[in-house]
Amino acid sequence: MRVSSRQRQFDALVRAHNGDLYRYAYWLCGDSSLAQDLAQETFLRAWRSLDALREPDAAKAWLITILRREHARLYERKRLETTDIGELELDDRDSLTPEQLGEDSIVRAAMLQLEPKYREPLLLQVLGGFSCDEIARELGLGAAAVMTQLFRARQKLKSLLVDGRSEARA
Amino acid sequence: MNCLDYRRELAPDPRRESAEMQEHRRGCAGCSAHHARALGFELALKRALAVPVPDGLAERILLAQTTSERADRGRRRRLGFFAAAAVLLVALGLGVHQLQIFSPLAQQLIVHLQHEPAALVTHTPLPVADVERRFSQRGVRLAAPPPAGISYAQTCPVGLLGSVHMVMPEREGPVTVFFLPGHTEPRSDYVDGDGGMRVRAIPMAAGTLALVAAEARHFDTLEAGWRRSLEGSPATAAGVP
């Protein structure tokens, strides 16, 4: 069967970015199944408007923009429940020590407790690799506001981690 | 740059340092340690955020996309088919209306006359060769020269049939003559109720000769004349050399 260049482009797009999209979706909604649905719906929308993507370097930001809109639509339809800390998945990475795995679970739990206005710029920076200016464009904010949010996001996260470690030790 | 400036600038994005920040850090043990701690935190954060991607996610996405694309294509194809069918029906409807291709031959001939009124204007006889050429274009070779006085000769479609359309001016008014090669119509005489036009259809020379006029007075003479032209003399028509 002959595969069109459009289909090949889409295949490459999915294979290159499905992991990042899934993770971003996961941290937006805190639910693995929902994150998969969001990633899938994002790619289906991307397929329908693939001609709008001109620069390969812009693909990730383009997909994240679509994903954020999808998430906002989903949020409009139903209020998402907060994920219980006990439901959080852990990496199945043999190379990690039990301490690291424990630390990861504390960080993940803390991330989900961050307010969305702090969590989202942090995700864009850490997972997406975007600069402050790029995050500002994506979120429709000023660069200074984004820098403040990122600073506060880390402070709040560190504070939550201190609490989380204390609970883990207790 | 002092330590406060360095740490304030590092805080929003610990992975990025300007040249000025790097210069300060290299000369400041406290900020160097702060930078190392910040990067350690970033690494831990990045590792924690990198939740495992479910197996086969890319394949499931591609499957959903190709399935949806095939469904869309099927819908588009069905829509295209219905659109083409609708266009065909409309075209057919218009064709039927315009050409009346399924009407009886006599009616189709009268409608055709109404579409070519200019054919009746001229009275100057055409050269015989011109008339013979029109027959030749329809694949017909005349057995004898056509009757004299033909003032108009064209190859025309009548409904779905090909014809040689001619006009023969007579004293009582023009007689239009059609020869439809390859189409055999039973012999008939028809009088049009609306305009009073008369039509005679005569099977002749592997085709049909049709005479159309307001008056049928010359039909017998013209029929005999055209039979001679198309089939030859009675002897020739009977196969006598």
Residue ranges, CATH 1.10.1740.10, chain A: 5-77
Nearest to B50 among A23, A39, A157 (CB): A23
Q: Which CATH architecture has domain A95-169?
A: Orthogonal Bundle (1.10)
Q: Are strands B188-191 and B198-204 parallel, antiparallel or unpaired?
A: antiparallel
Q: Which pLDDT tens digit goes with each residue over B161-208?
A: 899 999 998 888 899 999 999 998 899 998 887 668 899 999 999 899
At residue B239, does pLDDT exceed 80? no
Name every chain B residue with its beta carbon within 8 A of the beta carbon of A11. 62
Average pLDDT over residues B36-61: 90
Which regions of B89-206 does DSSP assign to beta strands (E)? 152-158, 161-168, 175-181, 188-191, 198-204
Cβ-based contacts under 8 A for chains A and B:
93
Whether residue B58 sits in one domain with residue B45: no
Distance from CA of B84 to the nearest CA of A (A): 25
Distance from CA of B85 to the nearest CA of A (A): 28
CA distance A39 to B61: 8
Name every chain A residue with its beta carbon within 8 A of the beta carbon of B53. 18-19, 22-23
At residue A150, does pLDDT exceed 90? yes
List, in sequence order, every residue forming a beta bridge with B178; answer none if it has no partner.
B165, B210
- Domain range for residue B201? 105-237
CATH number of this structure's domain A5-77: 1.10.1740.10
Q: Which pLDDT tens digit goes with each residue over B104-118?
A: 888 888 888 887 777
With CA atoms as reference, report the closest residue to A130 among A64, A35, A53.
A64
Residue ranges, CATH 1.10.10.10, chain A: 95-169
Q: Which pLDDT tens digit goes with each residue over A156-168?
A: 999 988 877 777 6
Average pLDDT over residues B53-75: 86
pLDDT at res. A100:
72
**DSSP symbol at A50:** G
pLDDT at res. A78:
53
Contact A89 B46 (CB under 8 A): no
pLDDT at res. A76:
63
Q: Give the CATH number, domain containing residue B217.
A: 3.40.1000
| pTM for the whole structure | 0.54
Kindly provide the ipTM of the predicted complex, given to two decimals: 0.76
At residue A70, does pLDDT exceed 80? yes
Cβ proximity of A74 and A134 under 8 Å: no
Nearest to B58 among A7, A14, A150 (CB): A14
